[in-house]
Structure 1
Amino acid sequence: MLNALNSLFKGLEPRQAAAIVKRATVRIRIAAGGVGQVMHEGVQWNARCPSEHTAIAPGRTVSVVGRQGNRLFVMPLAVESRRPVAAKPS
């Protein structure tokens, strides 16, 4: 039976699973080495960052990298560098 289910769902398996990134939004600050809260798929979760030296501010978008029980493990998304825009001459 298990083989039948595997063959049934085989075509539905994503070919580029690494490209699928789950995201969440920080609601309560995640202190370095501590726990905060994020909103993920409409549900509030306790969350912590695996990097003990990284704090994440509320409002930041993070990627969900793991789960243990009712706690998500999240990492901040890479910050794109922004160049200052030159002012137009008047």
Structure 2
Amino acid sequence: MNPPLTWLIIGIGFCLMEALIPSAFLESALGVSAFGVALLSLFVPGVNYQIVLWMLLSALIFWALKRFVPNRTAPALRRATEARTTTAIQPGKIGRVIYEGNSWQARCEDRQVSIEPDQEVFVLERKGNTLIVMPLSVFQ
């Protein structure tokens, strides 16, 4: 099989894979670069050189397409900043709070302070699945 046809088949395969299993443009970058190497294989005789060229083009195209992929950061906390404890939060330990109708793990920002159950707390931030809180009485 001649190299241009091989690279065309590889390119079609990667583009079909991207259509079936989206991968944030990785497979399409590999496919488009394979199409480019199919054209350049008429001028670049060695298969080893073609593979290196394919890898370089893939990296370049993936880097160029990367700006179209949205960042996958954790969503910020909504405007609601108050929650209510359902369990006691001992100093330095994890407890539970009700925040926006859901039960969350929570830890007190001040590791010396304990918070009793059924207390209003202020949500300072979110770290993973744990809310960092302070008793509302501290702010009043």
Same fold (TM over 0.5): yes
Q: What letter is aligned with 1:63?
A: F
1:66-85 alignment, distance < 5 Å: 66-78=125-137
Q: What residue number does 2:94 align with?
A: 35
Q: Give deviations 1:25-81, integer Å, cap 9, x for gaps.
A: 000110011110000000000000110100000010000001011000000012699
For residue 25 of structure 1, give the secondary structure of its aligned residue in structure 2.
strand
Q: Which runs of 5+ in 1 are unaligned?
A: 1-19, 82-90
Q: Residues 79 and 48 from structure 1, CA distance in 2 versus in 1: closer, same or farther, beyond 3 angstroms?
A: closer
The 8 Å contact of residues 104 and 130 in structure 2, kept in 1 or not, is answered as: yes
Write the distance in 2 (CA, Å) between the matches of 1:60 and 1:69.
23
Q: Residues 35 and 79 from structure 1, CA distance in 2 versus in 1: closer, same or farther, beyond 3 angstroms?
A: same
Q: After TM superposition, where is structure 1 displaced by more than 6 Å over at least 4 residues in a row?
A: none
* Larger RCO, structure (CA 8 Å, separation 6 or more): 1
TM-score, length-normalised on structure 1? Answer: 0.63
Bigger Rg, structure 1 or 2: 2
Q: 1:64 aligns with which of 112, 115, 123?
A: 123
**How many residues of Structure 1 are paired with residues of Structure 2 in the alignment?**
62
The 8 Å contact of residues 82 and 99 in structure 2, kept in 1 or not, is answered as: yes
The structure with more helix, counted as a fraction of residues: 2
Q: 2:84 aligns with which of 25, 31, 35?
A: 25
TM-score, length-normalised on structure 2? Answer: 0.41
For residue 92 of structure 2, give the secondary structure of its aligned residue in structure 1.
coil
